[in-house]
Amino acid sequence: MNRHVPVLLADGRAQWLLLTTPLRQALESQRCTAQVVRSEEIAETARLVETASAYKVVIVNLLYPSPGREDRLEPRGLEIIATIRSRERLADSQHPALVIALLQSAGDDDLERRAKGAGADKVLRWSELAPRTAGIKRLAKVIHDELSRRELIPLALDLEESDEPGVLTVIDDVGRPNLCLLIVDLAADLAEHRVERAKLGYVAPGASGAHVLRADLTMANGLQRTWLLKLSDKRKILKRELANARHVGGAYGSNLIIGYLSRHPVSHAGWHAIAMAFAADAVTLRSWLCDPRSAGQVPGVLSALFLGHGLARPYGRSTLAAERAIDAFFLPAFRRNRVRQAVAQLRPLLSETRAARVDNPGEIVQAIGAFVRYGRILGVEPDRCPGRLRTVAQHADLHGGNVLVLQEQHPQPCVVDLASHRSQHWAMDVARFTTDIVMRCLDPLAEGHFWDRWPAWRTTLGLLSRFEAIPDDPRNPAAVAALRWVVEQRPALLPLMAEEQRWQWHAALVEQLLRAACREELPTPKRVLGLVGAYDQLVLAEAAMGKLSVAF
Ligand X SMILES: Nc1ncnc2c1ncn2[C@@H]1O[C@H](COP(=O)(O)OP(=O)(O)O)[C@@H](O)[C@H]1O
**Which residues are at the interface with ligand X (CB under 6 A)?**
203-204, 206-208, 210, 212, 228, 258, 276, 278-279, 282, 284, 401-402, 404, 416-417, 419
Distances (CA, A) of 150 to 25, 34, 411, 472: 22, 17, 47, 62
Q: How far is the CB of 211 from ligand X (least distance, A)?
A: 8
Nearest alpha carbon to residue 479 among 287, 306, 342, 321: 287
- In the complex, the smallest distance separating the C-beta of residue 230 from ligand X, rounded to whole angstroms, is 6
Farthest-apart Cα atoms in the chain, separation: 100
In the complex with ligand X, the residue whose CB is nearer, 144 or 272, is 272
The reply to whether 417 sits near Mg ion by the rule CB under 5 A is: yes
CA-CA distance, 127 to 102, in Å (whole number)? 10
Q: Does 244 bind Mg ion (CB under 5 A)?
A: no
Residue 82 interacts, among Mg ion, ligand X, none and using kind-specific CB cut-offs from 5 to 8 Å, with none
What is the bridge-based pairing of β-strands 98-103 and 122-125?
parallel
CB of 128 to ligand X, least distance (A): 36
What residue 100 binds from ligand X, Mg ion, none (CB within 5 to 8 A, per partner kind)?
none
Give φ, ψ of 396 to 5 degrees.
75, 5
Dist CA 306 CA 313 (whole Å):
7
Residue 282 vs 372, nearer CB to ligand X: 282
- Of the pair 258, 544, the CB lying nearest ligand X is at 258
* Alpha carbon separation from 451 to 264, 391, 437 (Å, rounded): 48, 38, 18
Number of residues counted as binding Mg ion (CB under 5 A): 3
Question: C-beta of 417: minimal distance to Mg ion in Å?
Answer: 4
- Those residues whose C-beta lies under 8 Å from the C-beta of residue 344, and which sit 6 or more positions away, are none
Contacted entry of Mg ion, ligand X, none for residue 380, CB cut-off 5 to 8 Å set by kind: none
Binding mask 499-528 for Mg ion (x = CB under 5 A): ------------------------------
CB within 8 Å of 345: residues ≥ 6 apart: none
Chain residue at closest Cβ approach to Mg ion:
417
Provide the 10 A C-beta neighbour count for residue 153.
23
**Residue 450 Cα distances to 240, 358, 445, 549, angstroms:** 40, 16, 10, 41
Residue 284: which of Mg ion, ligand X, none does it interact with, CB under 5 to 8 A by kind?
ligand X
Question: In this complex, which beta carbon is closest to ligand X, that of residue 174 or of residue 276?
Answer: 276
* Binding site partner of 106, from ligand X, Mg ion, none, Cβ cut-off 5-8 A by kind: none
Q: Please, what is the minimum distance in Å from the beta carbon of residue 203 to ligand X?
A: 5
Closest residue to ligand X, judged by C-beta, is 206
Residue 300 binds which entry of ligand X, Mg ion, none, CB below 5-8 Å type-dependent: none
Q: Which CB sits closer to ligand X, 204 or 492? A: 204
Quick one: which of 463, 460, 471, 457 has its CA closest to 523?
A: 457
Is the CB of 402 or the CB of 434 nearer to Mg ion? 402
* Minimum separation from the CB atom of position 311 to ligand X (A): 15
How big is the chain, counted in residues? 552
Determine the Cα–Cα distance for residues 475 and 447; give it in Å rounded to an integer: 10
**Which partner, ligand X, Mg ion, none, binds residue 518 by CB below 5 to 8 Å per kind?**
none
Dist CA 83 CA 70 (whole Å): 24
**Residue 121 or 417: which CB sits closer to Mg ion?**
417
Complex with Mg ion: residue 417 or 511, whichever CB lies closer:
417
Could you say whether residue 88 binds Mg ion (CB under 5 A)? no
Sheet of 422-425: strand order equals: 319-324, 388-394, 422-425
Measured between alpha carbons, how far is 154 from 177 in angstroms, rounded to an integer?
9
Smallest gap, in angstroms, from Cβ of residue 489 to Mg ion? 24
Give 52-112 as a 3 state SS string.
CCCCCEEEEECCEEECCEEEEEECCHHHHHHHHHHHHHHCCCCCCCEEEEEECCCCCHHHH
Q: Which is nearer to ligand X, 278 or 426 (CB)?
A: 278
Taking alpha carbons only, the member of 287, 290, 283 closest to residue 473 is 290
Which is closer to ligand X, CB of 46 or CB of 283?
283
Q: Is 436 in the site for Mg ion (CB under 5 A)?
A: no
Judged by CB under 5 A, which stretch of 303-311, 343-351, 413-421, 534-542 contacts Mg ion?
413-421
How far apart, in whole angstroms, are the C-alpha atoms of residue 494 and residue 316? 8
Instruction: Give yes or no for residue 435 binding Mg ion (CB under 5 A).
Output: no
Residue nearer to ligand X on the CB measure, 358 or 405:
405
The nearest distance, CB 213 to Mg ion, in angstroms, is 14
Is 82 or 207 the residue whose CB approaches ligand X more closely? 207
Instruction: Write the interaction track for Mg ion spanning residues 192-231; mark x where CB under 5 A is met and - where it is not.
Output: ---------------x------------------------
Residues facing 215 on adjacent strands = 200, 227
Residues between 390 and 409 that touch Mg ion (CB under 5 A):
402
DSSP-assigned states of every residue in 235-267: HHHHHHHHHHHHHHHTTS-GGGBPPBS-SS-EE
In the list ligand X, Mg ion, none, the entry touching 279 (Cβ below 5 to 8 angstroms by class) is ligand X
Contact positions vs Mg ion (CB under 5 A): 207, 402, 417
